[in-house]
Structure 1
Amino acid sequence: MVSIIIPVYNEAKNIRKIQDNLSKLKGNFEAIFCDGGSSDNTINLIEDCYTVLNSPKGRANQMNYGSKVAKGDILFFLHCDSKIDENVIEKIEEEINKGFEVGCLKLKFDSRIIWMKICGHMSNFRVKLRHIAFGDQGIFMKKELFDKIGGIPNLPIMEDLELSLRLKNQKYYFKQIDSEIVTSSRRFLENGIFKTMFKMQKLQLQYLCGRDINEINEEYRDVR
């Protein structure tokens, strides 16, 4: 079984959309919403058929918290504003059964602007070339591997980058399955596509060069 873990915080605008998406999925799965202390109506809008947890705030904290109660042998981490194909659960299980232990989906932005399409292609190419996947690409892995590597790195930001680096260092590489995950392009359009791309690349490089993660987190707020 696949356990879908969804960290949420003040997601009242998106919470019904993700539930509608979940209701159309095929296969054997459970969905766990990990709330980081929402002050809006997020929790009240989640249907009773899903598990809801109150977790310490922070995406890494919330994902780790959800993994502790997950019943599935495969963990699938999903952003609340993402949309996935109805047969993705079956495709994930198919790749895991082939022997892959960690993977992700093919990223696509919800915009027809050519630069956003290019950004999506670059993100997918990064997975193949550098073996690095980010959270908006729908990371999944065997729970056994998740426990082995110590879960999601406890960082306020860049937790997905650090996770990818730790996996790569231990010779675990992402299998990118043939299934799209559509994510919001809102922050790019609101803050400027090229400005946002440049700043995100700059912050990633600074993290790799050892800049204090709390300083990076403060600066990252400007591009969200």
Structure 2
Amino acid sequence: MGSIREVIWSGVLVLVWLIPKASTQLKEPQVPCFFIFGDSLVDNGNNNRMLTLARANYMPYGIDFPQGATGRFTNGRTYVDALAQLLGFQNYIPPYERTRGRAILMGVNYASGAAGIRDETGNNLGDHTSMNQQVNNFGNTVQEMRRFFRGDANALNGYLSKCIFYSGMGSNDYLNNYFMPTFYTTSSDYTAKAFAAVLLQDYSRQLTVIIN
């Protein structure tokens, strides 16, 4: 059993089905680690120290979150927070901006408010970490993880192959790029169909790099 609650995610009213706490806690996580790529829907603090309008580390954000305004663009948990709990993680997946050492072994959240598939997306709001940069950050994490596996590439690959990867990108490439002709030229450079094709091509390449 559970209950329905109304929450606000990035200015959108969402109905969330709440699962009782006892049914979401497991002794061991179902997967060893969880890596997250995305924008404001799943950002949990990576933009906090950036010079940008895409920040959420102040009230009323976080009014229903135990730690207050952490940088999540919501009043409480994001849906990757909920997913992490359902997977059995005892703690939320930490933001890349302040995560190093053994903590990376359970996964890292690279998401950044205003981020898009294209590097220029979101520049109208200020600094952010684009998908290309998030992919590079993941590469840095993998390099750091090597020392915990004593350079054994097969062991590291085996570990990563059991992890879950979430990526949600693309909305800002329209909201904070294509649909803003006074700031960007993409709507004159591409037809809607051509721009979608370019995004799919770039996104496919980025996901392929993560997999490789």
TM-score normalised by L of structure 1: 0.28
Flag the structure with larger Rg: 2
In terms of fraction of residues, the more strand-rich structure is 1
TM-score normalised by L of structure 2: 0.29
In terms of fraction of residues, the more helix-rich structure is 1
